[in-house]
Amino acid sequence: MSKPALLEFAEVSKLFGGLAVITQLSFKVDAGERLALIGPNGAGKSTVFNLISGVYPLSAGRILIEGKDITQMASRRRIYHGVSRSFQNIRLMEHQTAIENIMLGQHPTASSLSDLLTPYRLQRRSPWVEEAKEALARAKLAQYAERPVNTLPYGVRKRIDLLRAVMARPKLLLLDEPAAGLNPVETEELHEQLMAIHDSGITLLVVEHDMHFVDRLCTRVVVINFGEKIAEGTMDEVRRDAKVREAYLGAEVATEASDAS
Ligand SMILES: Nc1ncnc2c1ncn2[C@@H]1O[C@H](COP(=O)(O)OP(=O)(O)O)[C@@H](O)[C@H]1O
Ligand SMILES: [Mg+2]
Q: What is the number of the ligand 1 atom nearest to the C-alpha of 43? A: 22
In angstroms, what CA-CA distances link 34 with 3, 28, 151, 195, 215? 18, 12, 32, 9, 11
| Nearest ligand atom owner, CA of 44 | 1
d(CA 25, CA 6): 17
Contact 66/6 with Cβ under 8 angstroms? yes
The per-residue pLDDT for 120 is 58
| Nearest ligand atom owner, CA of 177 | 2
CA dihedral (18, 84, 26, 215) in degrees, to 10, reads 110
Nearest CA-CA partner of 162 in 119, 122, 120, 192: 192
Residues with CB under 6 A from ligand 1: 16, 21, 39, 41-47, 261
pTM for this entry: 0.88
CA of 174 to the centre of ligand 2 (A): 12
8-22, 40-54, 107-121, 235-249: least confident range: 107-121
Q: What is the number of the ligand 1 atom nearest to the C-alpha of 16? A: 4
Interval 211-254: pLDDT, tens = 999 999 999 999 999 999 999 999 999 999 999 999 986 555 54
Kindly list the structural domains of the chain, giving each domain's residue range(s) and its CATH number in brackets, ordered by start.
1-82+170-261 (3.40.50.300), 90-168 (no CATH)
Nearest CA-CA partner of 16 in 40, 41, 51, 53: 51
Pick the residue whose CA is nearest to atom 7 on ligand 1.
16
Pick the residue whose CA is nearest to atom 12 on ligand 1.
21
Give, as one character, the DSSP assignment of residue 5.
Answer: P
CA of 182 to the centre of ligand 1 (A): 23
